[in-house]
Structure 1
Amino acid sequence: MVLASTNPINIERILVTDLPIVDLKAEKSVVKKLIVKACEEYGFFKVINHGITNETIAKMEESSFDFFAKPVIQKKQASPAYGCRNIGFNGDMGEVEYLMLNATTPSIAHLSDTISNDFRCSVSAYTEAVKKLACEILEVMAEGLGVPDRSFFSSLINHIDSDSILRLNHYPPIINNNKDRDKSSSYNYTKVGFGEHSDPQILTILRSNDVGGLQISPEDGVWIPVTPDPSAFCVNVGDVLEVMTNGRFVSVRHRAMTNSYKSRMSMVYFGAPPMNACIVAPPVLVTPQRPSLFRPFTWADYKKATYSLRLGDTRINLFRTIPHAH
């Protein structure tokens, strides 16, 4: 977790109820309250009735599995977008195979040169859909927080120079030598696929297949599994949004686990601002009772800090004006 939330997290409630689920077609006033509450208390929530078609999702997932099923020599032709490496923090090691793409139209247009035209079409449709969803959610957040300009957050993702990315993470199953194992039983999550971290961007939109593995840590030392739901998207607050809400919303640490039976595929959209965007909270969220917790910085500054530290390090504290309470 990047900051201590002003609203204490009820660990027992999370353990028994999973993440909050927000129906985006519900009454708008209800949606605003649910999203704000979830971002303050959990940093994560799920959305249903999100408007993204099953066809768009299925084509993206199929294209992703098709790509990762190729021989390594063919996948490496997509480098530097393609990679397979160990990632970890404090011994929390894991291995993930990934494809990381700039989520902009010009960048996606070049995909057919290195992968295939069908893949490019799938990525283009999916990216446009999740970007629209991210902006819709960010505008609801702004309204829920009382920010006069409802596009205060979403305009950064909509900007032509947005640094948003789409990352496809493939977690192959752990090799299981027990051939008599009952495959109908719960998966055995014993290995870290992607180490402990928080997302540095504004907002993350995650869709995984029907295989679990995502775990969140609302408090140090506590890891809570998130139940997979192919009909829903998982949404989480990024470090930049925590800063832009002056700590009202909390960016929570999380990790991904592999299992002993089935491959897990995560399709992750990271909504990010332009490199030169100044990251600062709107005046309405800075008051005498709640002074600014952070000094202004650019996304380029923060991105540089992100890559200069180990995965899992608390990068955002480098920009605090008020010491972090322990």
Structure 2
Amino acid sequence: MGVPLIDLLDFPQQSEKLLEACQEWGCFRIVNHNISRTLMSEMKSVVRSFFDLPLEIKQRNVDVIAGSGYVAPTKINPFYEALGLYDMASSEAVGDFCAQLDASPHQREIVETYAKAIHELAMDIGLKLAKSMGLVGDLFSGWPCQFRINKYHFTPESVGFPGVQIHTDSSFLTILQEDESVGGLEVEKSGTFVAVDPMPGSLLVNLGDIAAVWSNGRLCNVRHRVMCKEASIRVSIATFFLGPKKGLVAAPEELVDAENPRLFVPFTYEDFRKLRISSKSHAGEALLLVRADALKHQS
């Protein structure tokens, strides 16, 4: 069986299926979302044109927080290149991103339209998931969405090798617009990596480390990787619904009781992000460093 498929127009009937997917897989594919095929195609064209820009222009895309700007190929990930935007809900941040890359008025309009729609979608998915867990209220207000566009330049020599290493996302959830013709994404299920083949018109959602903490361990932060299947260019568009910009990441009180004590100490999202980087814990290991029982034992 492949990654679960969730129809966003079929709620609350799909609530139980959504929760099961998040607990067992940590990822799911969505259809009937609010991003039209036309907008997805136009956005992909803009993304490709951005990567064709000269290096000196791409390097203007500087970090707002670590890893949020231009990422050049490295020794560890030699086939991977990325551009980023820290806060998609901020019209000023979107404008700065477009200005850095000399976007035309038409390109800017597409980026602005996509950013608004994908941010609304991230909020909607988060609230649907929370409701499936019996939670209500304005739970994710002010949580930023980071936008990252990815390019994999696979060569004949790279076939069979990873385009990006095994990792979990640091975010609460990630919405991925895949390359419609070039696969390679694999997610881990019960210790085995399962290929996730593209499905045109759909979007893939992964849960990250923050989801595991916020749910008090109920939700799965899926480990995944990208493998080179063929010598070609692979382009994807990822939106990371991060965590609170202000305040602490912590499970809501409704998910904590005598039978389910708080598993993780509260922390700020930025501190956790820095912890992942400083400890080189990019595949979920960082959660062990913020486990309440482990820290209590150390003290």
Tell me the secondary structure at the aligned position of residue 156 of structure 2.
coil
1:40 aligned residue (20, 23, 28): 23
SS of the residue 2:285 aligns to? coil
Instruction: Give the deviation of 1:296 after TM superposition.
Output: 1.1
The partner residue of 1:59 within 33, 37, 42 is: 42
Q: Is the 8 A contact 1:99 1:168 kept in 2?
A: yes
Q: Distance in 1 between matches of 2:259 and 2:136?
A: 20
Q: Supply the distance in 2 between the matched residues of 1:132 and 1:235 (Cα, whole angstroms).
A: 14
Q: What does 1:186-197 correspond to in 2, within 5 Å? A: 189-197=159-167
* Cα shift at 1:95: 3.1
User: What displacement does 1:87 show?
Assistant: 6.6
Map 1:192-207 to 2 at 5 A. 192-207=162-177
Q: Matched residue of 2:74: which SS?
A: strand
Residue in structure 2 matched with residue 145 of structure 1 by the alignment: 133
Q: What is the CA–CA distance in structure 1 between the aligned matches of 2:41 and 2:209, rounded to whole Å?
A: 30
Amino acid at match of 1:193: G
The change in CA–CA distance for 1:244 and 1:87 in structure 2 (over 3 A counts) is: farther
Match of 1:258? 228
Residue 96 (structure 2) pairs with residue 110 (structure 1): yes
- In the alignment, which residue of structure 2 is the partner of 1:288? 258
Shift of 1:163: 3.9
Residue type at the aligned position of 1:216: V
2:65 is aligned with 1:84: no
Matched, 1:305 2:265: no
Which residue of the partner structure matches residue 181 of structure 1?
A: none
Distance 1:295 1:106, change over 3 A: same
Equivalent residue of 1:322, what SS?
Answer: helix
Change (3 A) 1:300 1:83: closer
- Total equivalences in the alignment: 284
- Percent identity between the two aligned chains: 28
TM-score when normalising by structure 2 = 0.88
Q: Distance in 2 between matches of 1:303 and 1:21?
A: 30
1:319 to 285, 290, 296: 290
Q: Which residue of 1 aligns with 2:153?
A: 172
Moved more, 200-209 or 308-317: 308-317
Matched, 1:127 2:111: no
1:297 is paired with a residue whose SS is coil
Distance 2:49 2:202 in 1: 23
Cα distance in 1 for residues equivalent to 2:167 and 2:118: 22
Structure 2 CA distance, aligned partners of 1:275 and 1:64?
27
Give the one of 215, 235, 239 matched to 2:186.
Answer: 215
Q: Aligned ranges for residues 21-32 of structure 1 at < 5 Å?
A: 21-26=5-10, 28-32=11-15
Provide the secondary structure at the position in 1 that maps to 2:227.
strand
TM-score, scaled relative to structure 1: 0.81
The Cα of 1:264 is off from its aligned counterpart by 1.1
Query: Structure 1 pair 191/201, CA: closer, same or farther in 2 (3 Å)?
Result: same
Q: Which amino acid aligns with 2:18?
A: I
In terms of mean alpha carbon deviation, does 253-262 or 290-299 score higher? 253-262
Within the alignment, does 1:18 sit opposite 2:16 as a pair?
no
CA distance in 1, matches of 2:134, 2:75: 39
Deviation digits for residues 268-291 of structure 1, max 9, x if unmatched? 000113433211111211122211
Matched to 2:148, the amino acid is R
Distance 1:234 1:293 in 2: 28
The structure with higher relative contact order (CA 8 Å, sep 6+) is 1
1:94, distance to aligned residue in structure 2 (A): 4.9
Unaligned regions of 5+ residues in structure 2, if any? 64-68
Conserved? CA contact 1:87–1:195, under 8 Å = no
Equivalent AA in structure 2 for residue 18 of structure 1: G
Q: Which residue of 2 is the match for residue 180 of structure 1?
A: none
Name the structure 2 match of 1:69. Answer: 52
What is the CA-CA distance between 1:79 and the residue it aligns to?
4.6
Q: Cα 1:193–1:236, aligned 2, differ >3 Å: closer, same or farther? A: same
Aligned pair 1:227/2:193, yes or no? Answer: no
Query: What's the CA shift for 1:259?
Result: 3.2
RMSD: 2.1
Partner of 2:81: 97
